[in-house]
Homo-oligomer: A and B are copies of this chain.
Amino acid sequence: MPSKAQLDLDAFTPYRLSVLTNRVSGAIARHYSDRFGLTIPQWRVMAVLGQIKAGAPGLSAREVADRTAMDKVQVSRAVATLLAARRITRAAHARDGRVAHLALSAQGLAIYNQVVPFALALEKQFLSVLTASECKAFDALLAKLSGGITDMTSFT
């Protein structure tokens, strides 16, 4: 018999990463949904809109997509839902008829201000098993791995 190559899923980094992420994201998604009626894509849109300065005109859907690592379809759908719930506003661009400025509504801002501390608390709890220096190390490693992957769409 051929001496088989073996692969232990529990030792396979992409698998471990996937399981961990699904657990965290799933738990967070449940919380967002239960307490704020938000999906993660919706929350991501609100999160980037919450960062724009007071006087600024808002972000286009494309800018939102860029900053959330979502594709434009996901953004379009999340925006439609958030608009229907009056959590964000849409205003025409002065010069470019294709573009709309998106921003949080007053109601959306109120929700944003509730979700942010909540999200930060969840992150803190997630990281609570690590020491401060381990957190920093993990952060750096994530950055390094992400940097290594962005350029290789094909992942030869």
Contacts and interface: CB of A to CB of B under 8 A. Distances in A.
Interface string A12-29: 111111111111110110
B116 A6 contact: yes
- Which applies to chain A's interface (DSSP): helix, strand, loop or mixed? helix
Most-contacted residue by chain B among A19, A51, A109, A152 (CB, 10 A):
A19
Q: How many copies does the complex hold?
A: 2
Interface residues of A, number: 70
Given A51-B8, A127-B13, A141 B134 contact: yes
Contact of A14 (B5, B28, B54, B153): B28
Contacts of A132: none
A8 to B, nearest CB: 7
A20 B113 contact: no
